[in-house]
Structure 1
Amino acid sequence: MPITPEQLAHLFLEGKEDEAFDAVKAYQETYSEIEMLEEFITPAMYEVGFLWEANKISVADEHLATGVCDFVLTAAVKPRAKTNSSGKTIVLFGAENEEHYLGLKMVAAVFRANGWQVYNMGPNMPIADAIAGVKRWEPDVVGVSTGFARNEERTERYLNRLMAASPKTEIILGGRYSRLHRKFEQDSRQVTVIDRLENVNSWLRQDEKGVRHATS
């Protein structure tokens, strides 16, 4: 029987790479890859985040857990033979001061599984560098993970500069606190807020059917 996400979190925190990997593989025997990412690994890392916010673990503990989780993700997620069968491209990055990268890695895996070419620029991307990357690769979609939490003003400045630099490109806003920024989705047809990994799949299915709104 699979262990709980909370138990997986403690394997991450204890640096038990092999046991964590075995737990994830056992989970995959019953559940799909997207379910493994959304319902098992993501809650485990949220648990790590909650423990850190409650001062129950140190920064070093959190970094160790992140490293173990990264190892498990790399080993458990199936490689894809085709990298661009859809003919579409997405550029991913974390907004400035967003230091977490595992969410980006999981989103990248979902897009690759659906045949997208993915350019993952990583976390904590200054806006000038983010804009340069978007101009370089001219993607169909830009995915931004924000760690600004309730700081709407900083998020708004960042997104406004990004939208001004690439007004025809759709932007997906994600991350742990993205649900707090739904005003950007309401204010601009260019922005879509996706706060759960499973909703990425829903968005992709809509994209395949051509039923999503188009940016103007």
Structure 2
Amino acid sequence: MDHHRIKELVQYMLIGDESTSWKLISEWIKGRDSVFLFEDILAAAMRYVGDLWEINEITVADEHVASNVCNLLISRYTLDTIPANGSIENEIHSTSTTPKAMLFCIEGEQHSLGMKLVSSLFKEHGWDTRYLGANLPTNDSIIYANRWRPDVIGISVSLIYNLPALTEFLKRIDQLEYEPKIIVGGRITSLYHLESDCPENVLVLKDLYNLEALLLDNKLCNQPHAIT
């Protein structure tokens, strides 16, 4: 990872300069794939923003400005790339055989950028994706899953004090009327060994490269539940 470039990008994100931020990453990603942008640039940039906030070098307001720029960059990139690989057409003309992914941040979790990246990656691979955003109540997630019946339910957790909400969701999986794959991820997966706290049928993904490998190999359609 090019830490100098990440710091330069973050400087522009913190002042709300979407144009210069886009110019920097456009030059950086030439010849690279989406996962490189999502994991090694945008996710890394937002982790650095989080580090700056933790040491009180920036305020919550600064963090929100950077997050907004990151959202805009994701949307801009997605609009530029998804039509090229046909995923928009796949989404519009989805059939009963099109795999479906339901993605959200656990109840209490407000950090949704990571899951937005996950949603973009699923779409790029032709999945019919529903991104339900941040702070989704457990009861509502169960109701929606039973109604829409996604093949994969993806959950994001970034902060340790939101782990009880994850535990509650996993306890209530038996309320689902079918057996989707369950995937869990987020910043916390790189800090703690969640596997020991999750059922065996839950997959904990450390980063987007793990997810990309599963999508390329069509593993999420055939293997046990996962957490991402």
| Same-fold status (TM-score > 0.5) | yes
For 1:87, the equivalent position in structure 2 comes to 98
Q: Cα 1:214–1:70, aligned 2, differ >3 Å: closer, same or farther? A: closer
Matches within 5 A, 1:127-142: 127-142=138-153
In structure 1, C-alpha distance between the alignment counterparts of 2:60 and 2:174, rounded to whole Å: 36
In structure 1, C-alpha distance between the alignment counterparts of 2:221 and 2:150, rounded to whole Å: 17
SS at match of 2:209: helix
In structure 2, C-alpha distance between the alignment counterparts of 1:158 and 1:46, rounded to whole Å: 26
Query: CA offsets, 1:32-83, max 9 Å, x none?
Result: 1211111111100100111112221111100000001111111122233322
Matches within 5 A, 1:66-215: 66-77=67-78, 78-79=81-82, 80-81=87-88, 82-83=90-91, 84=94, 87-149=98-160, 152-161=163-172, 163-166=173-176, 168-179=179-190, 180=192, 181-185=194-198, 187-189=199-201, 191-208=202-219, 212-213=223-224
In structure 2, C-alpha distance between the alignment counterparts of 1:160 and 1:209, rounded to whole Å: 22
Name the aligned partner's letter for residue 184 of structure 2.
L
Q: Cα 1:164–1:68, aligned 2, differ >3 Å: closer, same or farther? A: same
The answer to whether the 8 Å contact 2:104/2:134 transfers is yes
The answer to whether the 8 Å contact 1:6/1:43 transfers is no
Q: TM-score, normalising length from structure 1?
A: 0.88
Name the aligned partner's letter for residue 179 of structure 2.
K
For 2:41, the equivalent position in structure 1 comes to 40
Question: Is residue 4 of structure 1 aligned with residue 5 of structure 2?
Answer: yes
SS at match of 1:98: coil
Name the aligned partner's letter for residue 22 of structure 1.
K
Query: CA offsets, 1:135-164, max 9 Å, x none?
Result: 121000100001342664443123212x12
Q: Cα 1:206–1:214, aligned 2, differ >3 Å: closer, same or farther? A: farther
**Larger CA deviation: 122-131 vs 79-88:** 79-88
In structure 1, C-alpha distance between the alignment counterparts of 2:34 and 2:7, rounded to whole Å: 19
In structure 1, C-alpha distance between the alignment counterparts of 2:185 and 2:225, rounded to whole Å: 19
In structure 2, C-alpha distance between the alignment counterparts of 1:210 and 1:68, rounded to whole Å: 33
The answer to whether the 8 Å contact 1:93/1:143 transfers is yes
The answer to whether the 8 Å contact 2:102/2:154 transfers is yes
Name the aligned partner's letter for residue 200 of structure 2.
S
Unaligned runs of 5+ in 1: none
**Larger CA deviation: 48-57 vs 164-173:** 164-173
The answer to whether the 8 Å contact 1:24/1:76 transfers is no
SS at match of 2:218: helix
SS at match of 1:192: strand
Task: Kindly report the root-mean-square deviation, in angstroms, between the aligned alpha carbons of the 2 structures.
Answer: 2.3
In structure 2, C-alpha distance between the alignment counterparts of 1:150 and 1:195, rounded to whole Å: 19
The answer to whether the 8 Å contact 1:97/1:147 transfers is no
Count of aligned pairs = 211
Q: CA deviation at 1:115?
A: 0.7
Query: CA offsets, 1:152-211, max 9 Å, x none?
Result: 4443123212x12226111100111024212244x321x110120111111213335976
Q: Cα 1:214–1:15, aligned 2, differ >3 Å: closer, same or farther? A: closer
Q: CA deviation at 1:119?
A: 0.5
